[in-house]
Structure 1
Amino acid sequence: MGRTLRVVFPVSVVLAGLCLAGIVHAAEPPAPKLIRTVEGITEYELANGLKVLLFPDPSKPTVTVNLTVFVGSRHEGYGEAGMAHLLEHMVFKGTPTHGNIPKLLTGRGANFNGTTSFDRTNYFETMPASDDNLEFGIHLEADRLVNSFVKGEDLKSEMTVVRNEFERGENSPPRILLQRMLSLAFDWHNYGKMTIGNRADIERVPIDRLQKFYKWHYQPDNAMLVIAGQFDPKKALDSIRKHFGAIPRPERQLDQTYTEEPAQDGERVVTLRRTGDVAIVGTLYHIPSGAHPDFAPVDVLEGVLTAAPTGRLYKALVETRKASSGSGGAFNLHDPGVLFLTADVLNGIESQQVLEVIHDEIEKVRNQGVTQEETDRSKQALLKQIEINAADSTKIAIDLSNWAGQGDWRLYFLYRDQVEKVTPDDVKRVADSYLRRDNGTVGIFQPVKQSDRISIPETPNLTELIGEYKGRQVVAQGESFDVAPDKIEARIVRPKLPGNIQAALLPKATRGNAVVIRLTLRYGNESNLKGLAAVCDFLPDMMARGTKSLSRVELQDRLDKARGEFNADGNPGEATFTIKAKRESLPEILDLLRQVLREPVFPQEELETLRQEATAVVEKQLNDPQALAFRTIRRTLGPYPAEDPRYTATLAEEVQRYKSVTRADLVKLYEEFVGAQGELAITGDFDVEQTVAALNKTFADWKPAQPFGELHRTADVKLSRRVETIPTPEKANAVYAAGTVFPMRDNDPDYAPLVISDFILGGGTLSSRLGDRVRQKEGLSYGIRSNVNASPIDPRAAFSIMAISNPLNMEKVKTAIDEELTRFLKDGVTADELDLAKRGYLQMQEVMRTDDSGLAQILTTNLRAGRTMQYYVDLEKRIKAVTPADAARAFRKYVDPERLVIIQAGDFTKKPAAKPAEKKPGGDK
């Protein structure tokens, strides 16, 4: 579907009490007015102008509360670049009623976030379904809509956090290249400015300017509330009426943005020169708004050009070894947006040569058009993604907010209908209309005689366009599923499958009849896998790139038509396949899985493609602070010989290993090592008897020649505190990573108190000891957290801390972490924070079990460890029983600062900028 250009910023948000010091409850607010129902989504409107969408979905025991405010970077004025996003951060800073929003949300196990785009800002939280959580979410969003603090002292700390987020983006050449291309493509419209804003505006925005922006835009007549998931609609409406209905309609009248970008009068070119290892080229074209009927064929055109492995550009660039990969996107926006295409240039190839290929392929489409097969394939991929999102009430709530930001939430359904109607002639027409050189901007990371001005159509009249749109049949509803571990265990079926395949099947009715399969095949051992790590990495992906009966393209086409998704991932000794399907197409999907597992042919041309894709990914990380820091930590905590399959290679070593993999290596590894050994989990809507029959056929008579043995990992590593610095020149963002290991399995009696201790210390950037100090109080980092990870197989656990910051602030970050660790070890935890942590942790685990993909992973882990869901029943009991003394004892026992390895990666050569001289009265105005 349309790729909304949005920058997602994992932020909590709370503002300052400005616009309405108190809400007057003189009389009961009028009841919400029913407006319409489309495909199971019902729209209401309050007297104060608030739009409300209710989307009940009993299949998942969670409730999502999503508030969208129709303000984004499009609405910012001079000196306000990034203000909408900065305000998104500030709205998590609290209200008089909800003082510490991140802490309140964490205590309810909420998955929460805030995001800002060109056209809208939204805030959402997904919590375990309950009347209390529903009431809390609605009350919170109504409160912070008009009563957020937005205080000067909060701005001072949060400004540096946002600036750190800005700096993180500065580390990404593809992101910066796109930013440069947008700014060059748009002369006047705010779509030429990235949502993150510009550094000077972020640093200098006056608090009164931010408060005015908040009071003006954050009002009920400029907002939409979406409630999705398992809830009682009547109770939701009563709560909305109580909390939102009491907010008066503002007297001010919102102005509509009116800037119109003139037709471009010639190709524009921008060159970005920064440190890096992989050249990138891109082209960008002006296109109509998301609401315009031409947007759907433009989106189909993008798929025809970039989809792997069938896209025109993929074949012309990747298969010919000119580029390692390509991508693109059509931005569905309120006003006319852009279509962009990019490619990562292979070493030894000139960027201009790749650009010429891109332009040539576009001209072929403009002049010769596209085939019916290409059009259908791209449409299938778009419609599949729409259908997948429609089956997830949380995702559809976000999608609705994106389309609502373009003028009307029903555009979501209209776009789907328009995609289905796209013809090859439509694709050729929009390519000829918009993908002209004079309408384009070229970007490179390392004149026509007469311009051909292209006028972009205005956004259509939505009333005429949509009319009385009714929508289609409501998506099939799932059951009300109890995610308590014992309830899950009671429903699991464990059939006996051929060989050593252990299986756990969990049939249940799901929204959209969705089903998830997770299969991990295990093979080899410490001895017979020596020197084969890179081959193991490639094996699963190569198995899925062609079978005896199907090419990679044919396999992908079959998956798209069946609305299936297939992902393969490899590590030494294991090959994991994750599949998403529908009940009605599951038999076909299982047959495709059988062919991938039993009939792979390992095409040489696909090996070359995978090799260049994989090496390009690694080469991009050669100067990346995060990749270097994390890899160094892994190498230090797991020191194995270079030939050992458990060895962590350096980035340079990994590139050489990938270059040395041969087809013969893959064939030998598959034929001698792989067989019916591993774990399989299926969750969702499926017929158990039919599925087991298909699985028996898949795994029958499949025995490996080489013996299997677990690749055990030890915690017996000699460690002492050390700080290592890795220089990454010209990277604006730095990374702190620290870690240690110790003997412990996840069934150890000390595991529960240690996990809760860690949750209090650094379980969340926005609400934890580390988060409160480093981000909330001192504003040094956009992201900081700690983690405890214990193996279910080996007595080996790891404790880690990570943070990002401006390189100039890294020493302050390290000092703050050291001080908080010392305080934690000395003082332990309080009873209040322990109680809050236990509730929050358990509810977060509950939310995780509502996701079928996550649940399938839990089931395969249990199978590997030889346990059932009773493990989680017992773990929850142990968590609830943890005392402050238990938590302090466990943390002191296992977390030793003197065994902590600390890695700092970044550009630490720069000095703080000199402060500007103060201007005297009478100076420049």
Structure 2
Amino acid sequence: MKLITLLMLSAGILTPGLTLATTPIETTTAISTSNSKQSTKQLAAPVKVTTVEGITEYKLANGMRVVLFPDASKPTLTTNLVYMVGSRHENYGETGMAHLLEHLLFKPSANFGIKKGTKSPVEVLNATGAEFNGTTWYDRTNYYATFPANEDNLKQMLAMEADRMINAAIDQNDLWNPKTQKGEMTVVRNEFEIGESDPIGVTTERIQAVAYDWHNYGKSTIGARSDIEQVNIPRLRAFYKKYYQPDNAILMIAGKFDDAKILKQVNELFGRIPKPNRVIDPTYTTEPTQDGERSVTVRRTGGTQFVGAGYHMAPSAHIDSAALGLLANILTSAPSGRLHKALVETKLATAVNYNTVSNLEPSYGIFGAIVPKENNLDAAQEALLKVLENLKTAPITQEELDRAKQAARKQIQLALNDTAQLTIALTESMAAGDWRLFFIERDQIEKMTVKDVQAAAEKYLKATNRTLGRFIPTDTADRTEVPSTPDILKLVKDYKGQAVVEQGEAFDPSPANIEKRTQRSNLSNGMKLALLPKKTKGATVSVSLRLRMGSEASLQGKAEIGQFTASLLNKGTDRLSRQEIKDSFDKLNAQVTIGGNAEGITANITTTRDKLAAAIDLLAEVLKKPSFPSSEFEELKLAIVGRIEQSIPEPQAQASNAMARLTDATPAGHVLHVNTLPEQVLAAKTVKLEDVKAFHQQYFGADSASFSAVGDFDPTSLKAQLASLFGDWKAKQTYTRIARQIKAVAGEKLVLNTPDKASSFLLAIHPVAIKDDAEVHPALLMANHMLGGGALRSRLADRIRQKEGLSYGVGSFLNVPSQDPSGMWAAYALSAPQNTAKVEAALREEVQKAVTEGFTEAELIEAKKGWKQAEEVGRTQDASLAAQLSNYLAINRTMKFDQDFEAKVAALTVAQVNQALRQLIKPENISVINAGDQAKISK
């Protein structure tokens, strides 16, 4: 569970899983089982288990649990099938098996891909235009998808999940074919190699490995390279048959549906799968109490240093876990966090972080600090440990606890207002023992006292329970006895929860309806507005404000100054400090992002109807009256320099920078000019605070701004508020749009050396001189979708990932701007350095084949369907829609463009698509950038 850190830091703890994307299909096949009598006999009705805050759990006769989240406010469905198996269940020689099995579940099963005329799981998932993924962690594996809500999509999605629950092939040739020397094993191995290229990630893995003597929580979910390469297929099948069964699974379904109808459908599909005779015995390995400091040192190439301190902690269902989550926020949150003040504000480090996971059994947490190369690592370590392990002499205050609780409230409310994301978030509560633990910990957080948090700090954060980068013996044992998992059934029994979140309207996300519902107007100073009021779940509303500024001449030499200005806006105003700004937004349950550069600022807010006016008032203060504190300026400079330095040794950063520079048509000093990474470090170091203040005075104003709002709000009062706040705010410097240019490079080849990196990165690029309203654009878009934009279901993915097994991540993208003919097509692939040449050869062959032979009618039909449904899903995201409407205001575009574009895509012929590719992409003109360990590549 670890609710606070799960919600606030989920990006830092994502499991190595099979990352998937979108494309097309349509197959419905009834599953078959080995028990023919089971298929025809009368099924017992599902039994209701409990209802909490609008979420209801049922249990089928075979033991499978079904959790339903009805939400009619969005025309989408989310299915999330969780199996209670992860790396904790792996035995000797089986590390990584749960994760490898997750990959193989996307291969053909009996009735999906193997049976003639049927589609594979990947094809079914891509067909819906869904956002989908499969992930593996210590205690669970899950498969989820969000897709347009219609009976056909749901029917085939459920049929596919039921079939691969018991009918997956787990075929040796899918895993590794000795004859062809290809298979999914090498893809997973490449994923392992990608992780090995992250020195900070590897260091945190080593800390956890040293901290555990026996328990599998000390092993990375990705597994050992040797186990990945030598996995035994009979053991893998046995693992699958043992754990992939209905009595070990929980199916969550959220979105727009009829409860009774969908429950009957689930029972018909899954209820006929027999309950197995085997019994899954609980794991019983208990980690002994740590009896002294432990240490580990990792020596690898990298741009920055890192020091981390890890501690054994309570299992997620234990009440101590809630206290520890609040404690982590108190220690690491910027700018008030104690570690932030002790390390970042003093310039000992550029950033601090905290990593923990949701565990059924006693857990683990790691506090860390990123330290510049030139800084003293010992000094940073000393400061880190002083804060963590001296809390007894510097007790937690009520103010700190209140702030942490409010931050948690905001994140919890945001999760509750987004049903699809809540469905996926509850996966971690299931991993901890039960989905209701999410709500129980929320309630525990509200009841938490300073005494509770202080007691948890003193109990867990002490030297004898610590693993660090250094070992220091002690004469006096001071051990932490970690509590065992409580009786979860007793904990959740009769739990009713709080009131159900307010529901929204059933909104049609078609371009025509969005256009019909959108209200546009202008303020007296020229600021443009696009307002789309509608009822939403939880009365949420998303707004997007874009300030445009300057001209090509006036912004000469000011690129870095503009970036610093944007980053410093929320660090203090004439009235409020950085912490007060953060606290105020948190109290408004407002998710706020402010960013940009010298050309403009984008500010986004997601909050609720009753808090919107106050949130916009505060945003206006931040934008119009920043104080630019010198301490915050120096802290930001160190952080920016640190981030760039950290990226310098990395293959992806090197290749991406090289691509931008290769196609850059601007001279040095131009606001759009791309510097090398070392040049960016030097440029950041030369920015002065007085330059930032002058930039704000000269360039900021709303006369060329655009504002949009999507969600639950009153348009009349909002327009009046915007007119009052921004109607007379004008910039001293006139705004003139800067045209985009792209250098017409062709046939270039760049080789970049990134020593000691286990993964390499390949980029293939080709300029395309068109705008997005070009007649040929829809056809080229579909060509790219089939070539590499369709993720796992595309020519490049089929060849390089699926067939050759050379890359974990491969694909292509098409970037075509709206106002200037400066588009670009690019393809990318991650691989082991020794496979880079093979990847490049395969990529070139597939592009040449597509240009020479063209695509088929069948490919185009599926590409159209998948692309269209992905567009539909995208328009259900209010924040994204608000940003789109705001951007459209600047170019005088309405949603009619999207409607017409979809019609053009629908009318395309395969001949038009093939002609567009031949016209605009010349294989001989493709430029290639290869970044990796050249010593390994040359072998």
Which of the residues 847, 850, 859 maps onto 2:885? 859
Change in 2 beyond 3 A, CA 1:367/1:829: same
Give matches, 1:346-745, under 5 Å.
346-443=372-469, 447-676=473-702, 677-715=704-742, 717-745=743-771
Q: Give the Cα–Cα distance (whole angstroms) in 2 for the partners of residues 765 and 718 of structure 1.
A: 27
Which residue pairs with 1:920 in the alignment? none
Aligned with 2:366: secondary structure? Answer: strand
Q: Give the Cα–Cα distance (whole angstroms) in 2 for the partners of residues 368 and 280 of structure 1.
A: 25
Which residue pairs with 1:181 in the alignment? 207
Task: Assess if the C-alpha contact under 8 Å between 2:4 and 2:326 holds in 1.
Answer: no
Give matches, 1:152-231, under 5 Å.
152-156=172-176, 157-231=183-257
Which residue pairs with 2:10 in the alignment? none
Query: Residue 21 of structure 1: CA displacement?
Result: 5.3
The answer on 1:868 being equivalent to 2:894 is yes
In terms of mean alpha carbon deviation, does 572-581 or 76-85 score higher? 572-581
Which residue pairs with 1:74 in the alignment? 88
Which residue pairs with 2:125 in the alignment? 105
Change in 2 beyond 3 A, CA 1:12/1:490: closer
Q: Give the Cα–Cα distance (whole angstroms) in 2 for the partners of residues 897 and 22 of structure 1.
A: 54
Q: Give the Cα–Cα distance (whole angstroms) in 2 for the partners of residues 843 and 331 of structure 1.
A: 34
Task: Assess if the C-alpha contact under 8 Å between 1:321 and 1:346 holds in 2.
Answer: no
Which residue pairs with 1:3 in the alignment? 5
Which of the residues 134, 142, 151 maps onto 1:114? 134
Which residue pairs with 1:921 in the alignment? none
Task: Assess if the C-alpha contact under 8 Å between 2:762 and 2:836 holds in 1.
Answer: yes
Q: Give the Cα–Cα distance (whole angstroms) in 1 for the partners of residues 680 and 748 of structure 2.
A: 26
Which of the residues 791, 795, 799 maps onto 1:765? 791
Q: Give the Cα–Cα distance (whole angstroms) in 2 for the partners of residues 500 and 632 of structure 1.
A: 39
Q: Give the Cα–Cα distance (whole angstroms) in 1 for the partners of residues 5 and 344 of structure 2.
A: 23
Residue identity in the other structure for 1:705 = K
In terms of mean alpha carbon deviation, does 429-438 or 1-10 score higher? 1-10
Task: Assess if the C-alpha contact under 8 Å between 1:807 and 1:906 holds in 2.
Answer: yes
Which residue pairs with 2:73 in the alignment? 59
Q: Give the Cα–Cα distance (whole angstroms) in 2 for the partners of residues 470 and 741 of structure 1.
A: 58
Residue identity in the other structure for 1:3 = T
Q: Give the Cα–Cα distance (whole angstroms) in 2 for the partners of residues 891 and 875 of structure 1.
A: 18
Which residue pairs with 2:369 in the alignment? 343
In terms of mean alpha carbon deviation, does 532-541 or 259-268 score higher? 532-541
Aligned with 2:184: secondary structure? Answer: helix
Q: Runs ≥4 in structure 1, deviation > 6 angstroms? A: none
Which of the residues 104, 107, 117 maps onto 1:90? 104
Task: Assess if the C-alpha contact under 8 Å between 2:744 and 2:767 holds in 1.
Answer: no
Q: Give the Cα–Cα distance (whole angstroms) in 2 for the partners of residues 247 and 641 of structure 1.
A: 66
Query: Residue 22 of structure 1: CA displacement?
Result: 6.9
Task: Assess if the C-alpha contact under 8 Å between 1:49 and 1:249 holds in 2.
Answer: yes
Residue identity in the other structure for 1:690 = S
Deviations 1:556-586 (A, max 9, x none): 0001111112111112311111111111111
Task: Assess if the C-alpha contact under 8 Å between 1:523 and 1:708 holds in 2.
Answer: yes
Task: Assess if the C-alpha contact under 8 Å between 2:31 and 2:159 holds in 1.
Answer: no
Which residue pairs with 2:166 in the alignment? 146
Task: Assess if the C-alpha contact under 8 Å between 1:572 and 1:646 holds in 2.
Answer: no
Which residue pairs with 1:844 in the alignment? 870
Which residue pairs with 2:46 in the alignment? 32
Q: Unaligned stretches of 5+ in structure 2?
A: 7-12, 22-26, 114-119, 177-182
Which residue pairs with 2:346 in the alignment? 320
TM-score normalised by the chain length of structure 1: 0.96
Change in 2 beyond 3 A, CA 1:299/1:122: same
Deviations 1:88-115 (A, max 9, x none): 0000002121112212221221111101
Deviations 1:716-757 (A, max 9, x none): x23221221101000000001111212211111111111011
Change in 2 beyond 3 A, CA 1:10/1:506: farther
Q: Give the Cα–Cα distance (whole angstroms) in 2 for the partners of residues 179 and 98 of structure 1.
A: 37
Task: Assess if the C-alpha contact under 8 Å between 1:296 and 1:418 holds in 2.
Answer: yes
Change in 2 beyond 3 A, CA 1:842/1:654: same
In terms of mean alpha carbon deviation, does 213-222 or 597-606 score higher? 597-606
Query: Residue 443 of structure 1: CA displacement?
Result: 3.4
Task: Assess if the C-alpha contact under 8 Å between 1:538 and 1:570 holds in 2.
Answer: no
Which residue pairs with 1:916 in the alignment? none
Change in 2 beyond 3 A, CA 1:19/1:96: closer
Task: Assess if the C-alpha contact under 8 Å between 1:789 and 1:797 holds in 2.
Answer: yes
Which residue pairs with 1:909 in the alignment? 935
Q: Give the Cα–Cα distance (whole angstroms) in 1 for the partners of residues 564 and 530 of structure 2.
A: 27
Query: Residue 8 of structure 1: CA displacement?
Result: 4.3
Query: Residue 321 of structure 1: CA displacement?
Result: 0.9
Residue identity in the other structure for 2:786 = I
Task: Assess if the C-alpha contact under 8 Å between 1:736 and 1:903 holds in 2.
Answer: yes
Task: Assess if the C-alpha contact under 8 Å between 2:801 and 2:807 holds in 1.
Answer: yes
Query: Residue 861 of structure 1: CA displacement?
Result: 2.3
Residue identity in the other structure for 2:903 = K
Aligned with 1:98: secondary structure? Answer: coil
Change in 2 beyond 3 A, CA 1:22/1:644: farther
Which of the residues 135, 143, 158 maps onto 1:123? 143
Query: Residue 19 of structure 1: CA displacement?
Result: 11
Q: Give the Cα–Cα distance (whole angstroms) in 2 for the partners of residues 66 and 698 of structure 1.
A: 44
Task: Assess if the C-alpha contact under 8 Å between 1:12 and 1:89 holds in 2.
Answer: no
Q: Percent identity?
A: 41
Aligned with 1:194: secondary structure? Answer: coil
Query: Residue 20 of structure 1: CA displacement?
Result: 5.1
Q: Give the Cα–Cα distance (whole angstroms) in 1 for the partners of residues 469 and 153 of structure 2.
A: 48
TM-score normalised by the chain length of structure 2: 0.95
Task: Assess if the C-alpha contact under 8 Å between 1:177 and 1:444 holds in 2.
Answer: no
Query: Residue 597 of structure 1: CA displacement?
Result: 1.5
Give matches, 1:878-897, under 5 Å.
878-897=904-923
Query: Residue 588 of structure 1: CA displacement?
Result: 1.0
Which residue pairs with 1:250 in the alignment? 276
Q: Give the Cα–Cα distance (whole angstroms) in 1 for the partners of residues 42 and 413 of structure 2.
A: 41
Residue identity in the other structure for 2:79 = V
Deviations 1:61-111 (A, max 9, x none): 110111000000011111111100000000000212111221222122111
Task: Assess if the C-alpha contact under 8 Å between 1:280 and 1:444 holds in 2.
Answer: no
Which residue pairs with 2:116 in the alignment? none
Task: Assess if the C-alpha contact under 8 Å between 2:358 and 2:431 holds in 1.
Answer: no
Task: Assess if the C-alpha contact under 8 Å between 1:272 and 1:444 holds in 2.
Answer: no
Which residue pairs with 2:9 in the alignment? none
Q: Give the Cα–Cα distance (whole angstroms) in 1 for the partners of residues 823 and 260 of structure 2.
A: 48
